[in-house]
């Protein structure tokens, strides 16, 4: 089993969408059983909350449903339980490296490194913007999920 954790700040917009995009594409290609996937946030503000309505709507438009997700915060056990911890932006990446125990077995990477053709290394935070930002974030999540699936 390959174990991937998708991480953003709040775990209500980008990382639940990235997890959902990966689940959707892995399922479509008949490979869902090969993976353990989850998402989490570096922050604690939204623990227990469902995804932001705007992220849920943009995911539904793209063909997948993330409504059952509940936000959780990254914990130290994640650095041993997962093979890859995939950060949505540079701040998430820096925060994860700062948190990582010295003997962590998970590798921390930027999620967009799996979709270099998109020309961006981050999925920028859509939380304070309009719905267009969510549509763009989900496009990037799908591109990265496709690249990740191809790489593994
Ligand atoms: P996310 O978006 O990191 O993609 O889940 C955010 C959600 C909430 C906040 C920031 C970003 N916040 O500041 O509450």
For residue 135, how far is the Cα from the chain centroid? 15
pLDDT at 20 over 90: yes
Query: What percent of the chain shows pLDDT beyond 90?
Result: 97
Question: Is 54 among the catalytic positions?
Answer: no
- pLDDT-derived band of residue 3, with 50, 70 and 90 as boundaries? very high
CA atoms within 13 A on the CB side of 56: 11
Cβ distance 138 to 51 under 8 Å?
no
pLDDT value for 131: 87
Report field, pTM of the whole predicted structure over 0.75: yes
pLDDT class of 130 with cuts at 50, 70, 90: confident
Q: Helix %, strand %, coil % for the chain, to 5?
A: 45, 15, 40
Q: Which pLDDT does position 59 carry in this prediction? A: 98
What values do phi and psi take at 149, rounded to 5?
-65, -40
Q: SS3 of 100, please?
A: coil
Ligand 1 proximal residues by C-beta, below 6 Å: 8-14, 41, 45, 125, 127
């Amino acid at each position: 089993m390959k174990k991937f954790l998708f991480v953003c700040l709040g775990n209500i917009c980008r990382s639940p969408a990235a997890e959902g995009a990966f689940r959707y594409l892995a399922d479509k290609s008949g490979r869902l059983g090969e993976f353990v996937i989850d998402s989490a946030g570096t922050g604690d503000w939204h623990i227990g909350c469902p995804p932001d309505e705007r992220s849920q709507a943009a995911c539904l438009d793209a063909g997948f449903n993330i409504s059952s997700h509940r936000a959780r915060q990254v914990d130290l056990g994640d650095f041993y339980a997962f093979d890859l911890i995939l950060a949505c932006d540079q701040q998430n990446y820096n925060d994860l490296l700062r948190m990582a125990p010295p003997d962590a077995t998970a590798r921390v990477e930027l999620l967009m490194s799996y979709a270099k053709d998109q020309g961006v290394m981050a999925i920028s935070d859509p939380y304070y913007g309009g719905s267009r930002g969510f549509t763009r974030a989900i496009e990037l999540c799908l591109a990265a999920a496709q690249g990740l699936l191809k790489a593994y």
